[in-house]
Chains A and B, each alone.
Chain A
Amino acid sequence: MDELEFRRRIYADPHTTDEAVIAAAEADTNKQAFWNEIKAFNAKLEKAVDIDVPDDLVHRLIWQQGVRQYKHEKRKKRRLFAFAASIALVAGISFTLWDQWLYADLQKQLLTHVSHATEEISYSTKPAGLGKVNAKLASFGGHFEQEIGEVEVANYCYLGAVKALHLILSTAQGSLSVFILPENERRAVAEQFSDGNFKGSLLTMDNRNVVVIGATNADLSSLESKIKQSLKFTV
């Protein structure tokens, strides 16, 4: 290794472990002396860069991080709280609407239900005999002693929160609906009511409400009297 290359390598890295450099220094005392000189020079450089670090720098670095973290968590908590509050608001509104729907005007629910009755007919198995009707009526504690007409459909339906039995009869007065309401249904229904397309009348039997609904021009009286004769409640 020539002198220049040796010097370049020592200057570039005084702590070199390069075998060629070590061998060159061992073979030549001048080179070894030069190396020692540069090592001493480098020690001064190392000392020169090794400036004092402020005593409190460590603490400040740890402290500032803690502050930042605290602020971050506070922000996160605030966001979480806002989120929870909006959930609560939505839940509150939904519950109110749901509650209103459950206890909405029964009369209106009956008429609306009847106006959709044609859809119910097309999806049901027809006709429903006395046996089937009575089987469904049993859970209301009642039964028909005899046929009241040609029952096309006998289905449970929900009017708000209340489960009622809905019968659809095919009669000379057209398609008529009978709703048997459970004993606990206490919402008010007028004795006679109508919405322009349909009209209804209320029969009160053994503390139970039964509603008959048909087209506004239909005569409901014949069906009403059949129901009064035939429908009995045992419970």
Chain B
Amino acid sequence: MKTKQQRYEALVHAFHADIYRYAVWLVKDTSVAEDIVQETFLRAWKSLDALQDEQAAKSWLITILKRENARRFERKQLPLVEIDEALLLDDIEPVQVSMQQRDIQRLLAGLSTEYREPLVLQLIFGFSGEEIAQQLNLNKNTVMTRLFRARNQIREALDNQASFRGSKNG
């Protein structure tokens, strides 16, 4: 029989990386992301007995993380503006990222939350359309449409950039 401490540590090891990445893409600020991840795991300790299976734990952590993020706005009464993307990107990947990788990150960060959130859930956690729908309390068709538009926007922007750079170089 594992102690509560051991189960907590197992939970942290299993999920902290993906939860942190999700937080960064949600708030677009690494230090704020760390804060809300810490708050989320503190809450997880209290509900540890309820977090038995993996899928439930993942979905629970995401829900709490979103709540903590919303609370942050209430607490500080910050205006709900998106942080400047350039600022974020220097923060996330300071060096050694290919130009295209940086472009993709910038475009991802530039997506509106309603498109970025389902896409990030799919990319990080490998959630299915149904799981995303459940997590975000949306209808599955809405989710599929948003996923389509999210990828479409990024791809079109990349194509435009390529042809712009191409024309400049050529």
Q: Which positions in A face B, CB cutoff 8 Å?
A: 8-9, 11-13, 38, 41-42, 44-54, 57-58, 60-62, 64-66, 68-69
B129 and A13 contacting across the interface, CB-CB below 8 Å: yes
Partner of A57, one of B37, B101, B123, B152: B37
Return B169 CB to nearest CB of chain A, in Å: 21
B100 and A53 contacting across the interface, CB-CB below 8 Å: no
Kindly state the separation between the CA atoms of A48 and B42 in the bound complex, as whole angstroms.
28
A48 and B21 contacting across the interface, CB-CB below 8 Å: no
Contacts known (A41-B151, A48-B101); A12 close to B144, Cβ less than 8 A: yes
B147 and A12 contacting across the interface, CB-CB below 8 Å: yes
Kindly state the separation between the CA atoms of A47 and B120 in the bound complex, as whole angstroms.
12
Those of B16-75 within 8 Å (CB) of chain A: 16-17, 20-21, 24-25, 34, 37-38, 41-42, 45
Partner of B21, one of A9, A13, A49, A61: A49
Partner of B12, one of A9, A61, A68: A61
A8 and B148 contacting across the interface, CB-CB below 8 Å: yes
A-B contact pairs, 15 of them (CB 8 A): A11-B151, A13-B129, A45-B108, A45-B123, A48-B101, A48-B105, A50-B21, A50-B124, A52-B93, A53-B16, A53-B20, A54-B20, A54-B34, A58-B12, A68-B42
Kindly state the separation between the CA atoms of A38 and B151 in the bound complex, as whole angstroms.
9
Which residues of chain A have C-beta atoms less than 8 A from B42's C-beta?
Answer: 64-65, 68
Which residues of chain B have C-beta atoms less than 8 A from A12's C-beta?
Answer: 129, 144-145, 147-148, 151
Which residues of chain A have C-beta atoms less than 8 A from B8's C-beta?
Answer: 62, 65
A60 and B123 contacting across the interface, CB-CB below 8 Å: no
Which residues of chain A have C-beta atoms less than 8 A from B41's C-beta?
Answer: 61, 64-65
A57 and B151 contacting across the interface, CB-CB below 8 Å: no
A46 (CB) vs chain B CBs: closest residue = B123
B108 (CB) vs chain A CBs: closest residue = A48
Which residues of chain A have C-beta atoms less than 8 A from B119's C-beta?
Answer: 45
B90 on the A face (CB < 8 A): no
A51 and B104 contacting across the interface, CB-CB below 8 Å: no
Q: Which positions in B face A, CB cutoff 8 Å?
A: 5, 8-9, 12-13, 16-17, 20-21, 24-25, 34, 37-38, 41-42, 45, 92-93, 100-101, 104-105, 108, 119-120, 122-124, 128-129, 144-145, 147-148, 151-152, 154-155
Contacts known (A44-B104, A54-B34, A65-B45); A13 close to B154, Cβ less than 8 A: no
Partner of A45, one of B13, B20, B45, B154: B154
A51 (CB) vs chain B CBs: closest residue = B92
Contacts known (A13-B122, A13-B147); A49 close to B108, Cβ less than 8 A: yes
B148 and A49 contacting across the interface, CB-CB below 8 Å: no
A49 and B12 contacting across the interface, CB-CB below 8 Å: no
Kindly state the separation between the CA atoms of A45 and B123 in the bound complex, as whole angstroms.
8
Which residues of chain A have C-beta atoms less than 8 A from B104's C-beta?
Answer: 44-45, 48
Which residues of chain A have C-beta atoms less than 8 A from B128's C-beta?
Answer: 13
Which residues of chain B have C-beta atoms less than 8 A from A50's C-beta?
Answer: 21, 124
A64 and B38 contacting across the interface, CB-CB below 8 Å: yes
Return B111 CB to nearest CB of chain A, in Å: 11
Return A30 CB to nearest CB of chain B, in Å: 17
Kindly state the separation between the CA atoms of A38 and B152 in the bound complex, as whole angstroms.
10
Return B139 CB to nearest CB of chain A, in Å: 14
B120 and A49 contacting across the interface, CB-CB below 8 Å: yes
Kindly state the separation between the CA atoms of A41 and B107 in the bound complex, as whole angstroms.
13
Partner of B152, one of A11, A48, A49, A69: A11
B45 and A49 contacting across the interface, CB-CB below 8 Å: no
